[in-house]
Structure 1
Amino acid sequence: MRKRSVGINVRVTVTEKKKVTMLARKCGLSLSEYLRQRALGYEPGGHPPKEVFDVMDKIDEIAESCQPSAGTKIAACADEIRNLLIGGN
């Protein structure tokens, strides 16, 4: 069951809505979640650009082509970097 049952209506200009929608999308959040987080004092972070993930995929390919012990270390480091970039644990 949905816990949130009370709405808050805010009037904005078309330009303001486009800007806030873009910022929410950049963070990977819905417009409602983005506004909720901002209103509650959180500053959501943006996702890295697609090129960052392309580079991480290339590092994974390199790790797979290395000697097993080196490949395991490279893969572990790549996982650590990936988690830092996307907010993993």
Structure 2
Amino acid sequence: MRNRTVGINIRVTVTEKKKVTMLAKKCGLSLSEYLRQRALGYEPGGHPPKEAFYVLDKLDEIAENCSVRDGVAINAQTDRMRDLLIGGN
């Protein structure tokens, strides 16, 4: 883990802080981590809704009732979609 010991202080309006805090929360990051990533040129992505993973789980259940060949193909696609949702390649 990095040893972060130096702080950077900035002044913002109440509205700006609310907006940045909301953006950080949407990405599943702390305010500090969100600001750090943005300052270093990264564009943090948001978290997909839980419902998206629920749908993929249901598709996996459907695949269990298909032929082995079709089930394997469906599972491969749902795995690929999961990877895309969580930022994998």
Which TM-score applies when normalising by structure 2?
A: 0.85
Bigger Cα displacement from structure 2, 29-38 vs 6-15: 6-15
Alignment: residue pair count: 89
| Residue 28 (structure 1) aligns with | 28
Once the 2 structures are TM-superposed, how far is the Cα of residue 50 of structure 1 from its aligned partner? 2.6
> Alignment RMSD, CA only?
1.6
| Residue 17 (structure 1) aligns with | 17
Percent of aligned positions that are identical? 76
CA distance in 1, matches of 2:28, 2:12: 21
**Where does structure 2 lack aligned partners over 5 or more consecutive residues?**
none
CA distance in 1, matches of 2:70, 2:12: 54
| Residue 5 (structure 1) aligns with | 5
Q: Which amino acid aligns with 1:63?
A: A
CA distance in 1, matches of 2:8, 2:65: 54
- Displaced runs of 4 or more, over 4 A: none
**Where does structure 1 lack aligned partners over 5 or more consecutive residues?**
none
CA distance in 1, matches of 2:13, 2:36: 19
1:23-78 Cα offsets, whole Å, 9 max, x none, are 11111111111100101111111122232222212211111222222212211110
Once the 2 structures are TM-superposed, how far is the Cα of residue 2 of structure 1 from its aligned partner? 4.2
Which TM-score applies when normalising by structure 1?
A: 0.85
